[in-house]
Structure 1
């Protein structure tokens, strides 16, 4: 009788969710959609579409605009994207993640008494990736000039009315900003006054950044005058940033403030165009970038969950939350130990990790009545016909007695949720782009007179092979990042394009968004707003010395009924609560029945979409 009542409640809850009005309306479009983390940046994408650009052109314009507006990222950060090319029917991965500079070794950081690379400042910086990423995407798959695509960002750099969220971030971080002279000059125009950062609505100007963007456009236009084609001209701008006068000033400013990046590092770095990874979940092909991101972890989660009847459990029932959480924790344990830069040895066992057989073995570890704590990495090597060379490290993981129910404080949660932005674009010609650009967030250290905030992504490396033998810092190597755009295909056609901000919560929220749509029939806007859960039983990828997993620590929505809370506590979870636990996800659903697109834009803050 109790099971019938629980199932009836879950059905009623699902029906009420589907019937209720969302906080934001879904976007409907026939021609194009542009969605990102700032209203003005979405307008930049819309402007490009109105001028005849495709989804790649629009996505590049939105990335440029969000970087200029410091939407928890800047121009010195990294860009990672998935692009569906309708002419080939293929999905392309863009790896525009910076690499560790010369001198960045475990010994260097340990000599300074560090257990991790620092969170902030020049020593946290990998080489800039976003300028090269934009140029490569635009040159290879776009249709417009860099001048056209950069115009909205340049107009913003010349001066725009800053929003309260960004202005207040500058004010909160001003003591750290004052350590860096070039950042102080940009972010604190009212030094000496009670409020030293700009006020909301004040015109915020970035003259150095504007000059950097102008130089890149100048390089493109000069190349065109010399008879170069569109693609060659864009790469001339790329070259000026990484090997020309911009590079020289960036390096000078970085090293002046104690950073390690050299001119040779910038010249050596290249954007990688890759084939992404994918798994099939109940007839839907889901694509993620390679193991230099955490993206394959979501693919592992789907493989594990395919062994359970999630729909029958009911949306956000205790059994559903528990099963999804266990799959996430098992996949994160594998992520934490096995993921790293695929262009460096040792080779990651991705074939084994993403095999359906391995997922079945991991699924057997899920006790329906109890949280598995701690969840440990598995051994995927036998599933690709090999012997695991790191069993000694795995034994040290299993013997780790330091994992405990330590209190979850505000600083820890800030690191878990540390945000960026997301960019989604699609057009009627069939181009689809999903991007999670990041890095160089406030408080950022600006490199000299470039106006470019340096990335802090090097902190995602480890200094000890026991933690992850694939992700130990090394010059020229890319750190394993949390950034993870997603594309899904159904019957050979685009089905969903979605991405989210939020550090280690990204693939947790993207997984649940995907299940909301595919298992529970939610519309794309309902799915981006629907309550999720987040586990802290993983190693933090960002920030500080306290990065160890918090076994059983689970964030649930404040509206979770008491009886579900009691069941979860009985299963061994230690619960915390928030009013909003849904992402924030931005997404596009492709309505093949009507030949239209649905846009879903997060209801968390400033995320915004425009369609036509």
Structure 2
């Protein structure tokens, strides 16, 4: 398969994101003298405006960042915790056996704004006004509506009109059936950004002080107050078919701050790969690399049945460990060193046989006994409408778009100095929760990812972070900056990005070609999102997979499900050529609106 377009090279900086307007905004920042971190923040705010069906200011973000001249990578956790009022018993008293995937109950502290401010304040160079300007412009003056957003608005219009009036005020400004490509505005969100900027600039003339003042205005000022006033209005409809009030309060917002820490890493040949920690699913990527080190992948051949089988079987093992062991490390003793160790990888690698495994097989790092709670039976009523069918699924995607369920956003940026950043913003999408009409955005619903079962690292506790699927990646090669990448895709992110990475480093494909080979994944592990579906033995592959390869996989015991070509994921990547002379970028053709740029 020939790549559809070239890998982009330049000398100033390179960007790839899931929307061309975000990529354009980032490039403008780079052209105006900003660094990669400034550019990523600008792109992140634009994504909140132009992809509201996938993310928003009430959601969350996971960021990994590498400063030029350093040999490490930092993670910024923009994943807010659950409210102090949220406990397992809280939901039991409501008669619930699981946390619904929509509405007010699963809302946690919105971490995206704090995460972006931490990146800008500690890593960036520009003022808040410089990076907010593009988002304010698109929110105020409008942007061309994506077909996916238009479908989401038209599908959810009855809910917005009858049950979630703030969402109607925010998203039905052009009527209940907006046309794809039509001009769409969110003037209320523009005003929210402008108020935050006014709070910043009235507080100080100092850049860092302005950024801190904006963060204060969000978490302890007018934004927090508007959120509190809205939640005080009372119960609203959610996925259960009933109305529930929120657990989140202004005090929860006021007590939270985003954290910066050393990213989790592991070597793979000459590459050092960095991921967010076990509060995310990020280490799954590293576990897969540890397992795959014992196989001669180039000898198998890219896209062969042996290659796909081996990669999928290793993914099953790593994802099984995610289910048993990952959670907020501030609350649980996650055995991460053991999970990523050579001895453990050798033991687990021996489980990869010639036939497909059909069950979850978590391991016993440090001799511990694994525990995976049973998948909860959703408390949702049988849907009696299209709207309720959508709310029962906690993913942002409107289900009839595609079986691929591509969701979430990604932005990656590098600059000529050697700075690199990859971020995966998500949450606070229009389907998640009622929009706050005075702010122009809804809250996120990441709480649905937690267990209502005692004794698990991801069990619900007050003030605990839900284990997120958001999983960006940075790679150094021989200690030098090399690559930043990510993809939308929920639980499947670390399967699709792994294939991209192996295409580049094991099979020698350029970045663009690496995004365009046949993508595949396993659905054996329960989804992090309600209704936590899983399908043992199913291997999903794009229909570009060779018929002979499909037949060989089926003989190995895989239930192969073919989906449309170019429908799995939207990998975005930016990095440096192997000689370090040029920056480079690539974006998957999937979805048709991820774009790369360089200069």
Q: CA deviation at 1:413?
A: 11
Instruction: Determine whether 1:254 maps to 2:231.
Output: yes
Give 3-state SS (helix, strand or coil) of 1:93's partner.
strand
Which one has the largest radius of gyration? 1
1:8 alignment counterpart: none
Return 74-83 or 201-210, whichever deviates more.
201-210
Greater mean alpha carbon deviation, residues 251-260 or residues 307-316: 251-260
Contact in 2 for aligned 1:524/1:589 (Cα 8 Å): no
Aligned to 1:101: 83
1:290 partner SS: coil
Which of residues 48, 51, 56 is equivalent to 1:67?
48
Query: What SS does structure 2 have at the residue aligned with 1:156?
Result: helix
The one-character-per-residue Cα deviations of 1:384-438 (angstroms, maximum 9, x if unpaired) are xxxx2x45x46x879xxxxxxxxxx996997974511100111001111100011
**Conserved in 1, the CA contact under 8 Å of 2:586 and 2:595?**
no
| Aligned mates of 2:405, 2:180 — CA distance in 1 | 24
Residues 415, 503 of structure 1: 8 Å contact kept: no
Deviation at 1:448, TM superposition (A): 4.2
Q: Which of 560, 566, 585 matches 1:580?
A: 566
Q: 1:402 is matched with which residue?
A: none
Deviation at 1:574, TM superposition (A): 0.7
| Counterpart residue number, 1:52 | 33
Local SS of the residue matching 2:515: helix
Q: CA RMSD in A?
A: 2.1
Partner of 1:529: helix, strand, or coil? Answer: coil
Question: What 5-or-longer segments of structure 1 have no aligned partner?
Answer: 1-16, 383-387, 399-408
Instruction: Choose from 525, 542, 563 the match for 2:548.
Output: 563
Please say if residues 424 and 588 of structure 1, whose CA atoms lie closer than 8 Å, have aligned partners that are also in contact.
Answer: yes
The alignment's TM-score, normalised by the length of structure 1, stands at 0.88
Shift of 1:162: 2.9
User: Which residue of structure 1 lines up, in the alignment, with residue 414 of structure 2?
Assistant: 426
Structure 1 segment 95-494 matched on structure 2, within 5 A: 95-163=77-145, 164-178=147-161, 179-190=163-174, 196-225=176-205, 229-256=206-233, 257=236, 258-344=245-331, 346-367=332-353, 369-382=354-367, 388=368, 390=369, 393=371, 417-444=405-432, 445-465=434-454, 469-494=456-481
Structure 1 CA distance for aligned equivalents of residues 467 and 504 of structure 2: 28
Shift of 1:282: 1.5
Q: Residues 528 and 583 of structure 1 are in contact (CA less than 8 Å); yes or no, is this contact kept in structure 2? A: no
Post-superposition Cα deviations, 1:174-195, rounded to whole Å, max 9, x if no partner, equal 233332111111111255xxxx
Aligned partners of 1:304 and 1:375: how far apart in 2? 16
Partner in structure 2 of residue 385 of structure 1: none
Cα gap change, 1:70 to 1:532, in 2 (>3 Å): closer
Following superposition, which runs of at least 4 residues in structure 1 exceed 4 angstroms of deviation? Answer: 409-416
Deviation (angstroms), 1:359: 0.6
Matches of 1:35 and 1:418 in 2, distance apart?
Answer: 17
- Contact in 2 for aligned 1:471/1:480 (Cα 8 Å): yes
Q: Report SS of the residue matched to 1:494.
A: strand
CA deviations 1:455-485 (Å, max 9, x no partner) are 121111111247xx00011221110011100
Q: Distance in 1 between matches of 2:507 and 2:179?
A: 44
Q: CA deviation at 1:116?
A: 2.2
Distance 1:414 1:267, change over 3 A: farther
Pair 583,599 (structure 1): closer, same or farther in 2 beyond 3 Å: same
Deviations 1:557-580 (A, max 9, x none): 213233222221111111110222
Where 2:204 maps in the other structure, the secondary structure is helix
Task: Give distance in 1, aligned partners of 2:287 and 2:151.
Answer: 39
Inter-CA distance 451–543: structure 2 relative to 1 (3 Å threshold): same
Map of 2:390 onto structure 1: none
Contact 1:303 1:354 in 2 (8 A): yes
CA 1:276 to 1:594, structure 2 compared with 1: closer, same or farther past 3 Å? closer
Give the total of aligned pairs.
Answer: 562
Deviation at 1:609, TM superposition (A): 1.9
Closer, same or farther in 2 for the Cα pair 1:412/1:548, shift >3 Å? Answer: farther
How far did residue 202 of structure 1 move? 3.2
Match of 2:386 in 1: none
TM-fit CA distance, 1:201: 3.6
For normalisation by structure 2, the TM-score amounts to: 0.90
CA deviation after TM superposition for structure 1 residue 210, in Å:
1.6
Between 1:429-438 and 1:97-106, the stretch displaced more is 97-106
* Compared CA separation, residues 413 and 363, structure 1 to 2 (3 A): farther
Q: Counterpart of 1:199 in 2: which secondary structure?
A: coil
1:24–1:601 CA contact under 8 A, matched in 2? no
Distance (whole Å) between structure 1 residues aligned to residue 132 and residue 399 of structure 2: 36
SS of residue matched to 2:492: helix
> Which structure 2 segments of 5+ residues have no match?
237-244, 376-392
Determine if contact 2:167/2:435 at 8 Å carries over to the other structure. yes
Worse-superposed segment, 316-325 or 197-206: 197-206
Matches within 5 A, 1:460-609: 460-465=449-454, 469-544=456-531, 547-578=532-563, 579-580=565-566, 582-593=568-579, 595-605=581-591, 606-609=593-596
Contact kept in structure 1, 2:38 and 2:120, CA below 8 Å: yes
Partners of 1:554 and 1:156 in 2: CA distance: 40
